[in-house]
Structure 1
Amino acid sequence: MKEKILVSACLLGEKLRYDGGGYDLPEIQRLKEKYELIPMCPEVLGGLSVPRDPAEIKDGFILTVNGNDVTKNFEDGAQITLKYCLQNGITKAVLKARSPSCGKDIIYDGTHTKKLIEGHGVTCALLLENDIEVYTESEIGGL
């Protein structure tokens, strides 16, 4: 039986990005050789639609480009994702870089100007706090 690994659903080609897009990344598909891939989108799990306005973290809140506060949606989605991982023995995740949900180490700064700052997305931070290893799509070489 293969180890389960959580993967941002958009990285598996599911059209769940804020703009209704997804990614087709061969390196993610190669993970299927070693792992059972469990797709999840914390933003959709938190009740946000596809497509949706882009959002970024600013001063502890997640605000859309139009100024709508979607913090609760992001927090709810993070909690659902963590609960699933804990209930299913998932100890690793591959999440979408720079996302306000899934970003690891570097995220957008909240100005919606593509400027990057140090920080984690809401789901990434919660998983890390609970000893779940997090990788981005550019860090999966070691998996």
Structure 2
Amino acid sequence: MQNRILVSACLMGHAVRYDGRAKPLLHPATDRWRAEGRLVTICPEMSAGMQVPRPPAEIAGAATGEEVLAGTARVVEITGGDVTEDFVQAAENAVALARQAGCRYALLIDGSPSCGSAFIYDGSFSGRRQAGNGVTAAALKAAGIEVFSDREIERLIERVAELESDAAAGA
């Protein structure tokens, strides 16, 4: 059985980002994985019923997705609306889909308050970045799924090859 990969829908060319756009990740590996049936696509926010387009959202107070999941931080829109429950539901949906589909890895768009894994924004809506996980990335990591940002595709390729090599050697 090939290892499956949960992937942000915007990276696969779906116009699901908050601004109604996609952010396609054009790479031979994603083309190959798609052809092999390895990719499981999700937009966590849309899975929780959020609209496209929607107001930009960030995790308030320079907090992280782990803190949102622990109930000690909030996700807010630039308009002031609290969308914490939507983001927690989105994370739960992504974990459930990853488990159901047998995903060992996730390839997520960085910077998002949901999918960010190397960086997220600090909640000030000023464009300032900070290291940290979005809510979905934090939930997937807590569930034992290895998370890679779109800028870490080469690391993901190596990790997939490594595990498959080990599995072939042990078979």
TM-score norm. by structure 1 comes to 0.93
- C-alpha distance in 2, partners of 1:32/1:80? 25
Residue of 42, 45, 56 corresponding to 2:44: 42
**What is residue 22 of structure 2 aligned with on the other side?**
22
**What is residue 58 of structure 1 aligned with on the other side?**
60
Q: Greater helix share, 1 or 2?
A: 2
Q: Greater strand share, 1 or 2?
A: 1
Q: 1:33, CA displacement in angstroms?
A: 1.5
**What is residue 33 of structure 1 aligned with on the other side?**
32
TM-score norm. by structure 2 comes to 0.79
RMSD: 1.4
- C-alpha distance in 2, partners of 1:12/1:88? 18
Q: Deviations over 1:98-139 (max 9, x none)?
A: 100000131100010000112210000000011100001100
Q: 1:3, CA displacement in angstroms?
A: 2.8
Report percent identity of matched pairs: 39
- 1:47-126 matched pairs, under 5 angstroms: 47-59=49-61, 60-126=73-139
- C-alpha distance in 1, partners of 2:91/2:25? 24
Provide structure 2 residue ranges, at least 5 long, that are not aligned to the other structure: 62-72, 158-171
Indicate the structure (1 or 2) with the bigger Cα radius of gyration.
2
Total equivalences in the alignment? 142
- C-alpha distance in 1, partners of 2:136/2:54? 18
**What is residue 132 of structure 1 aligned with on the other side?**
145
Answer yes or no: is the 8 Å Cα contact 2:45–2:86 preserved in 1.
yes
SS of corresponding position for 1:26 = coil
- C-alpha distance in 2, partners of 1:91/1:75? 21
Answer yes or no: is the 8 Å Cα contact 2:118–2:149 preserved in 1.
no
Answer yes or no: is the 8 Å Cα contact 2:3–2:104 preserved in 1.
no
